[in-house]
Amino acid sequence: MAKIIPVKEPTSFAKAVLDPKWVDAIYTELAALEANNTWSLVPLPSGKSTVGCKWVFKIKYLPNGDVDRYKARSVEKGYTQQQGVDFHDTFAPVAKGVTVKIVFALASAK
């Protein structure tokens, strides 16, 4: 029986770019962000700084334990922003399951 060698996930961008599998995962993520029009490049206003990002790398496995794919995500450091300075409105189109259940319960009661 073949011995399975565990694959380690890189902890930094510098380590990830040394492996072509992770480089492909990074390019896949960037292509997805561009295809979804996630952002647009605009001139940086004077006196403002950009929001940084960190790359997070994960290995996705099949149920039998084989490697399915290498996944890279760009996580923005939104905690560096200040409300009223860097942004004005927050919008998150997500509803919790409990909220949906309450709405259905109220609707059925009426």
- Euclidean distance between CA atoms 49 and 58, whole angstroms: 29
DSSP tag of 11: S
Q: What is the pLDDT of residues 23-82, one digit of tens each?
A: 999 999 999 988 998 877 788 888 877 888 899 999 999 998 888 999 999 988 877 777
Render pLDDT for 63-75 as a digit per residue (tens, 0 to 9). Answer: 988 889 999 999 8
Percentage helix, strand, coil, to 5, in the chain?
Answer: 35, 20, 50
- Which residues, at least 6 apart from 22, have a Cβ–Cβ distance to it below 8 Å? 10, 16, 57, 70, 72
